[in-house]
Amino acid sequence: MTRDRFFAETPFFTEEHVPLAEGVADFVAREIEPRADGEGRDEDEHFREMLDLLAQSGLLGYAVAAGGDAQPLDTRALCLVREALAYSSAMADLAFVMQGLGTYAVKLAAPEHVREFWLERARSGKSIAAFALTEPEAGSDVSSIQTTARRDGEAYVIDGRKCFISNAGVADFYTVFARTGTRADGRAELSAFIVGARMPGFRVRSRTRLIAPHPIGEIEFENLRVPAENRVGAEGDGFRLAMRTMDTFRASVGAAACGMARRALDESIAYAKSRKQFGVPLALHQLIQEKLAVMQTELDAARLLVYRAAHLRDAGSPHGPSLTRAASEAKLYATEAAGRIIDEAVQIHGGQGLVRGQPVERLYRDVRALRIYEGTSEIQKLVIAREMLRE
């Protein structure tokens, strides 16, 4: 990983963030990069190896904060860690962020004894977390969730299924969103619950193979009884908790995209300097220079949007763009720009860019999902326009 001056040259960071960025970069180069290529490996095994490394390093504490609103997550630290991890390994980035995604609602609203138990286990890597929202008929349209939870004495009985759940099959517990009623406008009243993977009535229906290694699949609940104390927040708080989770972590998806794009750019510069065509290095051809210039400019713009959004969230500033709009702009632009940058990196590498296992080939597969999960690019545009019209 090349030394990066961005964190020292931009105004979004505190004195603690710059050494953190440098320390994470050193850790990634030393521990993650030698293990980044998972070609031919069992993806669950690869995931657990990355999670163990992150737990030993103490970095999981930047994804899993202490409980309650009084101790907010450091969004800038979350983003810079994701960017550094994604530079080398999408699997390490996934292992890191899922501990946060799967516990953020728990941090905000679970009963104190339940909250502290699961947050400590997630921070230490003793338990693997997952976030279970999406269903076969409810992706972007959360109001269409069909999984139900009905009160039965001191428990809730959950029935239904979820799909495209990251960490399905490896997670020890899931933050599950289920319908507990219907609002006056006909939309679902959602509530959140902590469901352990060993609870009777829980099963993994299937594992899903994606274009890049990623533990993900479909889970099912059949007459699953969960103690009422495992409800996160009050009945009906589920939608609010899901959206707060998305708002908090959305900019960090852009940070992961920036990490992938930065790696693609570094690989492209190195290749263009060493590869000769027509008697001179590729880097001396003006069309290659044009590609590199646009790639660098798009990367800089993406990083500025990402860390502006993270800075606004950490500052809690009521001024300037709304936090929701800033996060959606960051996610939209950074993921779309990363796709373009990595595509150009493959083009610069020519045939070598298509060889299985080459860094830019791996990045080409890894980056595609970022424009879909945690809100598609199309949904981000709708969010941005909605927030603009409200201002």
User: CATH 1.10.540.10 region(s) of the chain?
Assistant: 6-124
- Report the topology of domain 129-236: Butyryl-CoA Dehydrogenase, subunit A; domain 2 (2.40.110)
391 annotated active-site: no
Q: What DSSP line would sit under 218-249, residue for residue? A: EEEEEEEEEEGGGEESSTT-HHHHHHHHHHHH
Alpha carbons 48 and 70: distance in angstroms, whole number: 31
Cβ atoms 338, 303 nearer than 8 A: no
User: CATH 1.20.140.10 region(s) of the chain?
Assistant: 240-390
User: CATH 2.40.110.10 region(s) of the chain?
Assistant: 129-236
Alpha carbons 182 and 147: distance in angstroms, whole number: 12
User: Which pair of tokens denotes residue 318?
Assistant: 């009521």
Alpha carbons 312 and 324: distance in angstroms, whole number: 10
Q: What DSSP line would sit under 97-115, residue for residue? A: HHHHHTTHHHHHHS-HHHH
Alpha carbons 285 and 276: distance in angstroms, whole number: 10
Alpha carbons 2 and 25: distance in angstroms, whole number: 9
Residues 213-242 have pLDDT tens digits of 999 999 999 999 999 999 999 999 999 999
**Pick the catalytic residue: 83, 218, 344, 374?**
374
Domain 240-390 = CATH 2.170.120.12: no
Cβ atoms 177, 145 nearer than 8 A: yes
Residues 128-182 have pLDDT tens digits of 999 999 999 887 888 789 999 999 999 999 999 999 999 999 999 999 999 999 8
Residues 319-338 have pLDDT tens digits of 555 889 999 999 999 999 99
Residues 246-283 have pLDDT tens digits of 888 999 999 999 999 999 999 999 999 999 889 899 99
147: helix, strand or coil = coil
Cβ atoms 346, 310 nearer than 8 A: no
1 C-beta neighbours (distance < 10 Å), count: 17
- Architecture of the CATH domain 6-124: Orthogonal Bundle (1.10)
Give the length of the chain. 391
151 C-beta neighbours (distance < 10 Å), count: 13
Residues 375-390 have pLDDT tens digits of 999 999 999 999 999 8
Give the H or E element holding residue 367.
none
